[in-house]
């Protein structure tokens, strides 16, 4: 909530137009928040309300920060493709908000 409010305040008069908010929001993000944003499916965000809802849903509603131990204990399931496992690993890593990890 704080990030969105700060973003709107920093945008000033530009924040009046929803389409500009949507377009500019990614420039206010970094780290796991930016990774989340660029992983959104195409055309999944049309309006500012869509973007704000998805942002809060992902970062604040029922999503708890993961720890390094969550990454350490993550294992590929027997029936899971390598692509699915890597995506799941990336999703857990993105929820380690206070942990700074290089993708390498």
What's the pLDDT tens digit per position in 28-69? Answer: 888 778 888 888 888 888 898 889 888 887 777 655 667 778
Query: Is residue 6 located within the same domain as residue 54?
Result: yes
Q: Are 90 and 31 in contact (CB under 8 A)?
A: no
Using pLDDT thresholds of 50, 70 and 90, give the confidence band for residue 81: very high
| pTM for the structure as a whole | 0.55
Query: Is residue 98 located within the same domain as residue 84?
Result: yes
Query: Is residue 75 located within the same domain as residue 55?
Result: no
The count of domains in the chain is 2
Q: In angstroms, rounded to a whole number, what is the distance separating the alpha carbons of residues 22 and 82?
A: 33
Query: Is residue 48 located within the same domain as residue 79?
Result: no
Which domain, by its residues, includes 42?
2-59
Question: What is the pLDDT at residue 79?
Answer: 92
SS3 66: coil
Question: What is the pLDDT at residue 29?
Answer: 87
Query: Is residue 38 located within the same domain as residue 79?
Result: no
- Rounded to the nearest 5 percent, the helix, strand and coil shares of the chain are 60, 0, 40
Query: Is residue 75 located within the same domain as residue 45?
Result: no
Q: In angstroms, rounded to a whole number, what is the distance separating the alpha carbons of residues 50 and 18?
A: 11
Query: Is residue 95 located within the same domain as residue 77?
Result: yes
Q: Tell me phi and psi for residue 76, to 5 degrees.
A: -70, 130
């Amino acid at each position: 909530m704080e990030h969105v409010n700060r973003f709107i305040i920093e945008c000033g008069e530009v924040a009046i137009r929803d389409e500009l908010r949507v377009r500019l929001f990614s420039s206010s993000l970094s780290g796991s928040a930016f990774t989340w944003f660029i992983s959104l499916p195409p055309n999944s965000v049309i309006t500012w309300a869509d973007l704000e809802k998805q942002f809060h849903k992902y970062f604040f509603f029922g999503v708890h920060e993961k720890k390094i131990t969550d990454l350490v204990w993550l294992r590929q399931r027997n029936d899971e493709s390598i692509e699915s496992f890597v995506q799941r690993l990336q999703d857990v890593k993105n929820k380690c908000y206070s942990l700074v990890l290089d993708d390498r």
